[in-house]
Amino acid sequence: MTRPLSVALAGLGTVGAGVLTLLRQNAEVIAARAGRPIAVTAVAARDRTRDRGVPLSGLHWFDDPVALATDPSVDVVVEVIGGAEGAARAVVQAAIAAGKPVVTANKALLAVHGAALATEAERAGVPLGFEAAVAGGIPVIKALREGLAGNRIARVAGILNGTCNYILTVMRERGREFAEVLHEAQKLGYAEADPSFDVDGIDAAHKLAILAALAFGRPVAFGAVHVEGIRHVSALDIAFAGELGYRIKLLGLARQTEAGIEARVHPCMVPESAPLARVDGVFNAVVAEGDFVGRIMLEGRGAGAGPTASAVVADLVDIARRRLTPVWGAHSGALSDVPSVPMTAHVGCYYLRLMVVDRPGVIADVTAALRDAGISLESMLQRGRSPGEAVPVVLVTHETREAAMRDALARIAALDAVLEDPAVIRIEPA
């Protein structure tokens, strides 16, 4: 019998335990597809006594994950520790330096250090698999890097964070505010005790940086991604979005323009008829547009033990079959040096909600500020009259440049009749 592929797990949390369970439960079908058995033989984890819901007897335990990565009896290292620095980075670098293939589910590590790690893996001639780093069980990495290899990609967009999608879905369905729904999501386990990486858009930005590198064939550039989260999205804005025929989603968007690559994460108003608008709850989805294939969409669970383990094992099967694909789809010398486009150059339509004192002349002052910034209006909503009281006014603009909108917002916020910072949400076409 062909010798099993010996796998070392650095990290034995939810994902690590999921990988161990999947490899054991589906061992026969995995062996058939990989051409040889795949078995976890060693692990590195901090707490040996914790019950992880899976038998651990017979595994070689390491207290030092770097020692695990350099063990001669290990064929491939799976890193599921997490984080851009510390043990996770040290394990991956040590494994590559030892000439061992690596599989990681670590989007932060790849977004921040992916260019350097790819170069190291290329020099060592070893695979660096990361299907599990973006969108959980959805095979979006293989789709972009391999399935669409014959296409020039014009745009990639997606719902890349299940926590934010769940919160926005519940806010829309129940008319509840962000803070209340976030607290509920934490109790249900959909949000971390410290939810900042999720709700402030950083997690989605890590994933978008990876997708943009694959889609446009250039080194990963996390620092060039414009990032906004969902803390400022209110139930009122979600209700107005529905009235206007939109749903609010936190999207990661990257596209090729004449000036370079635009990459941004922020709340968007998406037409209710758009496929992404109908992706609800904790689900993720990615849309890619290629010059020959047209538009494709992949949807599924973006996190959790099962989906993420599924993606990890897919990379292990490739390694067992000795498939070696360049990390970013092409060798480092063939990657593009196309520049990043600043957010101020973005052109699009905008939703603008103001809380203003209901008195004569207020709308004239607001529209004058927009006019002076060169922005024209498509529509306006104002519900009821409450002279002297605060009322919401909603404005939808025609296409304009981000820099012009920022100028107009500064002018509008300075008006004494405007009672709070304007709420601004960019509108994305279907």
Report the alpha-carbon distance of residue 108 to residue 72 in Å, rounded: 28
**Residue linked to tokens 């979005």:** 241
- Laid out side by side, the sheet with 102-104 consists of 60-62, 38-44, 5-10, 76-79, 102-104, 128-129
Residues known to be catalytic: 207
**In this structure, what are the phi and psi dihedrals at residue 78, rounded to the nearest 5 degrees?**
-110, 120
Report the alpha-carbon distance of residue 18 to residue 54 in Å, rounded: 9
Please name which of 141, 151, 158 lies closest in space to residue 275, comparing C-alpha atoms.
158
